[in-house]
Amino acid sequence: MSESERKKRIKILVQELVTFNVEEQRESDICFEIDNLSPDPKWSNYIFWTDDYIDEEDNFLMEKFLDKIFSYKENIIHL
């Protein structure tokens, strides 16, 4: 799956997660899928633990969020 396809799918899933009152099982399914699509393992922190991705009118800033998670670079230590 290309990066643009992953972004598109994450966007759909996050919109469902933040917009709808989803049941617990559906929320788990969404989070599991995003875990597999997102390069950034801390993606959920940006939704649930900060207001950095919420504007003054309480809208979720999807593009800023996607830019953040797709700018993640894994730290690899070579021994």
Question: What local confidence, expressed as pLDDT, does residue 35 receive?
Answer: 97
Q: Return d(Cα 3, Cα 79) in angstroms, integer.
A: 30
Number of domains in the chain: 1
Could you tell me if residue 45 is inside a domain? Answer: yes
Residue 20, domain extent:
3-70
Could you tell me if residue 36 is inside a domain? Answer: yes
Question: What local confidence, expressed as pLDDT, does residue 73 receive?
Answer: 85
Give the other-Cβ count within 10 Å of 60's Cβ.
16
Could you tell me if residue 44 is inside a domain? Answer: yes
Could you tell me if residue 77 is inside a domain? Answer: no
Question: What local confidence, expressed as pLDDT, does residue 6 receive?
Answer: 97
Bridge partners of 60, per DSSP, are: 54
pTM: 0.86
Could you tell me if residue 79 is inside a domain? Answer: no
Could you tell me if residue 14 is inside a domain? Answer: yes
Residue range 10-67, pLDDT digits in tens: 999 999 998 878 899 999 999 999 999 999 999 999 999 999 999 999 999 999 999 9
Could you tell me if residue 46 is inside a domain? Answer: yes
Could you tell me if residue 75 is inside a domain? Answer: no
Which residue carries 């989803």 as its tokens?
Answer: 22
| CB neighbour list of residue 63: distance below 8 Å, 6 or more residues apart | none
